[in-house]
A and B are shown apart, each in its own frame.
Chain A
Amino acid sequence: AQSVSQHNHHVILSEAASLELGCNYSYGGTVNLFWYVQYPGQHLQLLLKYFSGDPLVKGIKGFEAEFIKSKFSFNLRKPSVQWSDTAEYFCAVTPLTSGTYKYIFGTGTRLKVLA
């Protein structure tokens, strides 16, 4: 079955530390890849996405992600986190299934940044 794995369920960092959140998916065909973020009390919103071209994608608020096809991975990075990055982060994949795309979300990573 198609799935998305996020191995880090909880991450705690100090401000200015570097961040890398892992995302692996199991699907052999063409995929589109996304990172969504949910800040406390707010709705899910897009951080960045990849669907073709340069595998290094830059998103909002200094986030970037790299698509490595051979590793089925799409890890999220930020060189220096801020307290305001405290949130839950979801990786998502949209495989083409029976002629239709549908989002499959990973289990999420809760990031807490200490001031």
Chain B
Amino acid sequence: DTEVTQTPKHLVMGMTNKKSLKCEQHMGHRAMYWYKQKAKKPPELMFVYSYEKLSINESVPSRFSPECPNSSLLNLHLHALQPEDSALYLCASSQDSGGADTQYFGPGTRLTVL
């Protein structure tokens, strides 16, 4: 199984809402990632978890709060977002956080902030 699943597929939220994105993998990978992808742009790294610990935060605003409850699960908690946060949010995982590791991507959650 080389699948990374993400839920929900689509999410529409107001600026005062609190919502969460969920990502799951069962490949035994120890590194998990959140990316943000705007239309016609490349994925931009937001967070990296390695062995369930946050190892990289790319200066992401605090209205985005990641959580890694266990090695298979990664959440992204959203609160007080802005319309410019509307984007495709991608989750990925890799065997480890080494530079040569292949990342396996999920299909993404398309987020619209009204």
Query: Could you tell me the distance in whole angstroms from the C-beta of B5 to the nearest C-beta in chain A?
Result: 10
Stretch at the interface among A12-20, A73-81, A93-101: A93-101
Residue of A44, A104, A105 with most chain B CB atoms under a 10 A cut-off: A44
Measured between beta carbons, the chain B residues less than 8 angstroms from A90 are: 42-43
CB contacts (< 8 Å) of B44 on chain A: these are 105
Chain B proximity of A21: nearest CB distance (Å): 14
Q: Mark A31-43, 1 if CB is under 8 A from B, else 0.
A: 1101010000011
Q: Cα distance A48–B42 when bound, in Å?
A: 18
Contacts A43-B106, A44-B90, A100-B55: A94 and B42 contacting too (C-beta < 8 A)? no
Contact of A108 among B33, B42, B58 (CB under 8 A): B42
Q: Do A100 and B105 have beta carbons less than 8 Å apart? A: no
The answer on a CB contact under 8 Å between A102 and B48 is yes
B108, A46: Cβ atoms under 8 Å?
A: no
Residues of B within 8 A of A108 (CB): 40-42
Residues of A near any B CB (own CB < 8 A): 31-32, 34, 36, 42-46, 49, 51, 90, 94-96, 100-108
Residues of chain B with a CB closer than 8 A to A31's CB: 99
Does B45 make an interface contact (CB < 8 A)?
yes
Give Cα distance in the complex from A104 to B56, angstroms. Answer: 13
Instruction: Please indicate the chain A residues that have their CB under 8 angstroms from the CB of B42 in the complex.
Output: 90, 105-108
Question: Can you give 29 contacting A-B residue pairs, CB < 8 Å?
Answer: A32-B100, A34-B102, A42-B107, A43-B4, A43-B90, A43-B105, A43-B108, A44-B105, A45-B104, A45-B105, A49-B102, A51-B99, A51-B100, A90-B43, A94-B99, A94-B100, A95-B99, A100-B56, A102-B45, A102-B48, A102-B56, A102-B58, A103-B33, A103-B45, A103-B103, A105-B43, A106-B42, A107-B42, A108-B42
Q: A107 vs B92: C-alpha distance in the bound complex, in angstroms? A: 18
Complex Cα–Cα for A108 and B45 (A): 15
Interface flag for B97 (CB, 8 Å): yes
